[in-house]
Amino acid sequence: MAYINHSYNDSPVIHGEANAALTAPAMKAFAFNASGKVILPAASGDFAVGIALANTDDVAAGGGIDLQVKDGCLAIVGETVKRGDLLMAHTDGTLKKATAGKQVLAVAIGDAAKDKPCEVYIMRTLIAPSA
């Protein structure tokens, strides 16, 4: 398929600029603020654009950070999750089980204990169903 007059980026990673210093951002979920800077989600279940790569070190304010925006990766979970759980971004960047009406960032494709990495598949277009 040809794309005329614009390019198509099929990379699973995008690059952003940190709004403030980010400590231990690896495998955590992030969003963009109104200025296009990378931030932690303001509220649980808020839209999150992606997950920082597993090899990401601390980032200074204004520093660059790479976020995975599609496909499979590792993410830190804020509670015990099981394969198949729908996950939303929490304000500390961890992923937790999605609640009704909140944006689903990923689905767990492995089991993981709280504060541990979990293999996930990013699918941020869904809204968690009501129970």
For the chain, what are the domain ranges? 71-127
How do the pLDDT tens digits run along the chain, 131 residues long? 455 665 666 779 999 999 999 999 999 999 999 999 999 999 888 889 999 999 999 999 999 999 999 999 999 999 999 999 999 999 999 999 998 888 899 999 999 999 999 999 998 666 766 66
pLDDT tens figures, 65-96: 999 999 999 999 999 999 999 999 999 999 99
* Cα 9 from Cα 101, distance rounded (Å): 30
Record the pTM: 0.87
Residue type, 36: G
Given a contact cutoff of 8 angstroms between Cβ atoms, the answer to whether 45 and 109 are in contact is no
* Cα 27 from Cα 77, distance rounded (Å): 9
Query: Which residues lie below 8 Å from residue 124, measured CB to CB, with a gap of 6+?
Result: 47, 48, 49, 69, 103, 104, 105, 106
